[in-house]
């Protein structure tokens, strides 16, 4: 069993406003292997909240630019920069290859995929989101604490919730949230349970209001729910669903 | 949707019938393996889990992932009563092996 952070690894989904500061925190703490997945390019609108990039990176691919920046800051860290989308085809294998996952993505589909794949791989996930003046963070310990589908079941319909690009994000708040994610992952990698394990923390920055909501495994959760929902004694008759068009 | 009979109870002669069954025909990756993994967590080492799944991604990946995580495949056969794409797979749970040393 490895005992130091240098022997540990993390998968960071997104290298932007959340993933960037999370990667900085992980690298600075001495985590040995960082896998980042990012399929975007650097734009000028990113620079107010994405600390891995500067003016000279405009137009560059974020994965490569982030790896270069991290290598300059912390030469000992092993960064595997994957310039591609985090999708169903590769997500499970990536998750199984690391010790902890951090979701710094900016869309609900990817956030639900990250949660599902953490449950499938049995790996802890630090989830976070930031919108306008509000941050939320939650650590999912598969089988121990609730996952994203225990909270919401399905992603909201497209267009029902404004995206970061539509609603805006207070730049420094993204850095705050990403640093919280990195620190939480370091706690997990150090063998601690995690401050936000099973606790969704929501912080509204204008009023300095923070509240936490317990997140437990929900019996009917389609990902990690209990036996009543998904598994039955094998002696019970099973409902047969015929694909459409078959007699 | 209609309700029909259970899959044939026959299987390998030297194998106890499954202790549990999980139906993952209604989900896609990675929920296919997530549900299978949760179900494997509910049986004892040496017991068998029957997985009802569809040909394609689930049939390609679920047995392979199970073997990679230390379980074995005792049966893998079409289940025509449930349609042309339905299969059943018997997974025999291996010795307990946590996926993560970080989970308390």
The answer to whether position B72 is within a domain reads yes
Contacts of B34 in chain A (CB under 8 A): 116-117, 119-120, 223-224
A218-227, A238-247, B42-51, B94-103: the lowest-pLDDT one: A238-247
Domain positions in chain A? 5-218
The answer to whether position B62 is within a domain reads yes
The answer to whether position B9 is within a domain reads no
The answer to whether position B68 is within a domain reads yes
Q: Is the ipTM of this complex over 0.85?
A: no
Give the structural domain span for B61. 30-92
Contacts of B98 in chain A (CB under 8 A): 122
Nearest-angstrom CA–CA distance, A173 and A183: 15
Contacts of A153 in chain B (CB under 8 A): none
Which pLDDT value is given to residue A150? Answer: 93
Which pLDDT value is given to residue A230? Answer: 46
Closest partner residue to A122 (CB to CB) among B37, B81, B83 is: B37
For A243, other C-beta atoms within 10 Å of its C-beta total 12
The answer to whether position B101 is within a domain reads no
User: Which residue of A190, A191, A232, A241 to mutate against B (max B Cβ within 10 Å)?
Assistant: A241
Flag whether pLDDT at B104 surpasses 90. Answer: no
Q: Does A207 touch chain B (CB under 8 A)?
A: no
Joined together, the tokens standing for residue A157 give: 């319909």
Which pLDDT value is given to residue A228? Answer: 40
Distance from CA of B14 to the nearest CA of A (A): 18
Which pLDDT value is given to residue A174? Answer: 93
∠A144-A103-A71 over CA atoms, to 5°? 125
Q: What is the mean pLDDT of each run of 10 residues along chain A (247 residues)?
A: 83 96 98 97 92 95 97 96 94 96 94 96 96 93 93 72 71 94 98 95 94 91 66 52 44
Q: Does B55 touch chain A (CB under 8 A)?
A: no
Contacts of A75 (CB under 8 A, 6+ apart): none
Is residue B63 very low, low, confident or very high in pLDDT (cuts 50, 70, 90)?
very high
Put simply, the chain B residues between 70 and 99 with a CB less than 8 A from any chain A CB are 81-85, 98-99
Q: Classify domain A5-218 at the CATH class level.
A: alpha beta
**DSSP state string for A20-81:** HHHHHHHHHHT-SEEEEE---B--GGGTTT-TT--GGGTTSBHHHHHHHHHHHH-TT-EEEE
This prediction has a pTM of 0.85
Closest partner residue to A237 (CB to CB) among B6, B34, B65 is: B6
Sheet containing A33-37: give its strands across: A78-82, A33-37, A9-13, A100-103, A125-131, A134-140, A199-204, A209-214
Which pLDDT value is given to residue A145? Answer: 94
Based on the structure, what is the number of domains in chain B? 1
Which of B40, B56, B49, B52 shows the shortest CA–CA distance to B97?
A: B40
Q: Do B82 and A242 touch (CB under 8 A)?
A: yes
Which pLDDT value is given to residue A237? Answer: 54
Is residue B13 very low, low, confident or very high in pLDDT (cuts 50, 70, 90)?
low
Distance from CA of A233 to the nearest CA of B (A): 5
The answer to whether position B51 is within a domain reads yes
């Amino acid at each position: 069993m490895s005992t130091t952070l240098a022997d540990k690894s993390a998968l960071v989904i997104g290298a932007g406003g959340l993933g960037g500061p999370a990667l900085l925190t992980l690298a600075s703490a001495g985590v040995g292997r960082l896998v980042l997945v990012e399929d975007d390019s650097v734009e000028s609108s990113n620079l107010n909240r994405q600390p891995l990039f500067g003016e000279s990176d405009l137009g560059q691919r974020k994965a490569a630019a982030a790896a270069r920046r991290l290598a300059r800051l912390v030469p000992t860290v092993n960064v595997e920069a994957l310039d591609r989308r985090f999708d169903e085809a590769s997500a499970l294998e990536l998750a199984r290859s690391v010790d902890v996952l951090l979701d710094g993505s900016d869309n609900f589909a990817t956030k639900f995929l990250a949660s599902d794949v953490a449950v499938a791989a049995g790996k802890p996930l630090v989830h976070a989101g930031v919108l306008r003046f509000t941050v939320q963070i939650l650590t999912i310990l598969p089988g121990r604490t609730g996952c994203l589908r225990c909270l919401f079941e399905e992603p909201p319909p497209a267009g029902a919730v404004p995206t970061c690009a539509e609603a805006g994000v207070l730049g420094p708040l993204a850095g705050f949230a990403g640093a919280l994610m990195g620190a939480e992952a370091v706690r997990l990698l150090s063998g601690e349970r995690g401050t936000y394990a099973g606790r969704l923390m929501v912080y509204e920055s204008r009023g300095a209001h923070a509240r936490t909501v317990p997140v437990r495994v929900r019996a009917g959760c389609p990902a990690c729910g209990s036996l009543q929902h998904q598994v039955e004694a094998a002696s019970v008759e099973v409902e047969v669903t015929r694909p459409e068009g078959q007699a | 949707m209609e309700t029909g009979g259970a899959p044939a109870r026959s299987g390998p002669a030297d194998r106890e019938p499954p202790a549990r069954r999980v139906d993952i025909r209604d989900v896609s990756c990675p929920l296919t393996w997530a549900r299978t993994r949760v179900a494997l967590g509910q049986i004892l080492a040496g017991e068998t889990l029957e997985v009802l799944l569809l040909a394609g991604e689930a049939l390609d990946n679920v047995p392979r992932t199970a073997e990679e995580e230390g379980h074995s495949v005792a049966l893998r056969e079409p289940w025509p009563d449930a349609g042309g794409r339905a299969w059943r797979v018997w997974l025999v749970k291996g010795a307990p092996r946590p996926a993560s040393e970080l989970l308390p």
